[in-house]
């Protein structure tokens, strides 16, 4: 048993030694990495002789301004001259130099540039257009209320409703009433007039007829009940079958 304990102790010591060596190795590797990074940074920001520096010249054609009417979009790109790794020599009058950058301007073709206004201007409605009477009627209704002499930015209510007179019906109320009357007039047509109409229109006709039939039947039952009660009151000695 004592031999087993000695073996276990030796194994434990070996594990501890390996752990210490592993930790030490990682520390050395980290130190080397840090030193390499520091050398890289120093080399990137090292000084050089100004006489050896180069300047990137942007061609005049690439600095043209974008044309907003054609939809061109102005973009900018930066060209950076890589720094020199040479060390400055104070005895020769060398001074530290910084990277030289230049701005190049290019224009994206109009075909690929996004447009600010993607909604096309509406076309005027011709007098022979079927929609013309409805649009003209709404325009006339609105014009009876609008006071175009007022500035809408100062008083929008006066601009839109300033021409209305006391007791005058609102333009939208007039429009709503006219639309409702037109719909009722169409729905009162015979059912056969809707045979060629789309299904939603025919369904509207069915619903309208059902509502009107239900209301008529309810009124018919009320009138029948009143007539029966009047007859019963006048002939109190007569039973229901005879009545």
| Beta carbons within 10 angstroms of residue 231's beta carbon | 11
Distance CA 48, CA 11 (A): 58
- For residues 79 and 14, membership in a common domain is answered with no
Residue 164 lies in a domain: yes
Contact between 145 and 160 (Cβ < 8 Å): yes
Joined tokens for residue 76: 């900018």
The answer to whether the pTM exceeds 0.75 is: no
In terms of domains, do 78 and 153 share one?
Answer: no
119 within a domain of the structure (yes/no)? no
Say if residue 32 is in the same domain as residue 62. no
Give the residue numbers spanning the domain of 98.
50-108
- 226 and 151 within one domain: yes
Task: Let me know if residue 5 belongs to a domain.
Answer: yes
- Do 206 and 223 lie in one domain? The reply is yes
- Residue whose C-alpha is closest to residue 123's, from 134, 131, 115: 131
- Judgement on whether residues 33 and 63 belong to the same structural domain of the protein: no
Residue 203 lies in a domain: yes
Asked if residues 42 and 87 have their Cβ atoms less than 8 Å apart, the reply is: no
Q: Does residue 159 belong to any structural domain of this protein?
A: yes
Within 8 A by CB and 6+ apart from 187, the residues are 204, 205, 208
Tokens of 195: 């045979």
E strand or H helix at 104: strand 101-108
Distance from first CA to last CA of the chain, Å, rounded?
Answer: 124
Per-residue pLDDT 10s for the chain (243 aa) are 666 667 667 777 777 777 766 676 667 767 777 677 777 777 766 555 544 444 444 444 444 444 545 454 444 444 444 555 555 555 555 555 544 444 555 555 555 555 566 777 888 889 899 889 888 888 888 888 888 899 989 998 888 888 877 666 666 677 677 778 888 888 888 888 888 888 888 888 888 888 877 777 777 777 777 777 777 777 776 666 555
Residue 121 lies in a domain: no
Would residue 14 count as lying in a domain?
yes
State the helix-helix crossing angle for 171-187 and 199-234, rounded to 10 degrees. Answer: 80
- What's the domain count of the chain? 3
């Amino acid at each position: 048993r004592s031999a087993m304990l000695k073996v276990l102790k030796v194994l434990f010591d070996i594990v501890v030694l390996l752990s210490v060596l592993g930790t030490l190795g990682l520390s050395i590797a980290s130190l080397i990495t840090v030193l390499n990074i520091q050398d890289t940074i120093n080399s990137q920001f090292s000084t050089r002789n100004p006489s050896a520096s180069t300047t990137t010249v942007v061609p005049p054609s690439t600095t043209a301004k974008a044309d907003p009417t054609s939809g061109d979009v102005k973009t900018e790109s930066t060209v950076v001259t890589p720094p020199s790794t040479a060390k400055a020599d104070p005895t020769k009058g060398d001074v530290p130099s910084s990277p030289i950058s230049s701005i190049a301007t290019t224009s994206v073709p109009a075909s690929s540039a996004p447009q600010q206004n993607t909604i096309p201007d509406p076309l005027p409605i011709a007098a022979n257009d079927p929609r013309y009477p409805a649009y003209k009627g709404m325009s006339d209704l609105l014009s009876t209320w609008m006071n175009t002499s007022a500035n809408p930015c100062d008083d929008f209510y006066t601009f839109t409703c300033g021409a209305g007179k006391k007791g005058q019906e609102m333009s939208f109320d007039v429009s709503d009433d006219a639309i409702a009357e037109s719909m009722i007039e169409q729905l009162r047509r015979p059912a056969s007039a809707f045979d060629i109409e789309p299904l939603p229109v025919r369904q509207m006709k069915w619903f309208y007829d059902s509502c009107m039939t239900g209301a008529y039947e309810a009124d018919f039952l009320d009138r029948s009940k009143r007539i029966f009660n009047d007859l019963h009151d006048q002939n109190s000695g007569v039973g229901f079958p005879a009545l």
